[in-house]
A = this chain, B = another copy of it.
Amino acid sequence: MSQGSDIPTARSGRVTIRTVAEHAGVSVAAVSKVLRDAYGVSAALRAKVEASIATLNYRPSAAARGMRGQTYTIGVIMADINNPFYPQIFEGINDGLSDTQYIPLIGLGRGLATIETTIVHAMVDRQMDGIIMIGQRLNTPGLNEVAKSLPIVVVAHHEPTATAFDTVNNDDELGGRLVVEHLLAQGYKRPAMITLSRAQLGRVDVSDRRERGFAKAMQAAGLGHYVHIEAAEAELDDVTATVRELLERPDPPDAIFGWADYYALEVLSAVRTLGYRVPEDIGVIGYDNSEPCSFTQNNLTSIDQSGREIGRQAVRMLLERIGGRTTVEHFVTTPKVSLRGSTQR
């Protein structure tokens, strides 16, 4: 048996609207009316056509179905496929869709609101039933506009007062606080943080909240005079330069928090390139508890925000919205420290 042999094709003589019409003994226009749920279709005609559709196992094309209702496609917009946190979320999305006929199709926003908007247009045009946006750059007014066209659920964007769309997050401010408390408990005295560059990205509230939690916890611990939060671009070179600047200060940090694992893995690289030992000289901690954290060469302590659960909840909420729910829901998971060797000295 060849795989994929039941793929419909115009050239292979498979079932079309014309086949259905011939089988039912009615006109193509009549079948089209039934498919469109058009006004004035008799119950008898509907029954006859639907029987033929069932017998022939006819699937009207998504374009045709899209004209009249659901396409059973949901869009997922994420920045890129480099971030090792996203596979976790996607596992949860797959969990949530596993007993449904929905198919997720992914667009990559590349961290730019203009590209995200183009993808949203494309998804709206293609009659997708709803969109999950993950770590998007579109701001709240932009999201409200999108929500007028189709249901959306937004992951990693705190907007607890939004009513037009649902959100799923972890408590990022608490996560930032947990980082400081953990590092101090491990005996580190001067934690610093490397965060997302604003210049590149505009206001991204996930990193913002982690920064706020970090700064507040430093103050609460009597370290308000030592709050170093430095922004870097995502590339290894820029993270390395930023780490070097920090470590060449007269009062260098003895621990560095990378705001997300894909930064923290580069911080690990930078710290070792500069000749420091982890965790003895410098502790390193990330955020997301993504898969590479557990590789021996990384052995990276990280904050677990339950990415798979976030993906599951996002799907549940989107399907509820598609099903007609108009009330709003904002779901928040509780972060926790996942301890590994990079902060154990």
Contacts and interface: CB of A to CB of B under 8 A. Distances in A.
Contact of A273 (B62, B103, B138, B296): B296
B265 A295 contact: yes
Contact of A4 (B125, B138, B266, B292): B138
A241 interface: no
Interface bin, chain A: 35 or more
B63 A145 contact: no
A72 to B, nearest CB: 8
Interface string A1-27: 011111111111000000000000000
Given A64-B67, A80-B87, A103-B118, 5 more contacts: A2-B144, A3-B113, A3-B137, A63-B63, A268-B295
A161 interface: no
Contacts of A9: 124, 145, 148-149
Contacts of A61: 66, 125, 127
Nearest to A94: B110
A289 B63 CA distance: 41
A191 to B, nearest CB: 21
A291 interface: yes
B295 A125 contact: no
Contacts of A294: 236, 269
A207 interface: no
B103 A106 contact: no
Contacts of A127: 61-63
A114 B98 CA distance: 13
Contacts of A104: 107-108
A103 B122 contact: yes
A145 B4 contact: yes
A298 interface: yes
A120 interface: yes
A174 interface: no
A124 B7 contact: yes
Contact of A63 (B10, B66, B90): B66
A82 B291 contact: yes
A142 interface: yes
Interface string A103-140: 11111101001101111111011110000000001110
A344 interface: no
Contact of A81 (B75, B81, B118): B81
A111 B103 CA distance: 16
Contacts of A236: 291, 294-295
Contacts of A144: 2
A297 to B, nearest CB: 4
Nearest to A90: B81
9 contacts: A3-B141, A4-B146, A7-B117, A8-B125, A62-B127, A81-B81, A81-B86, A81-B106, A94-B110
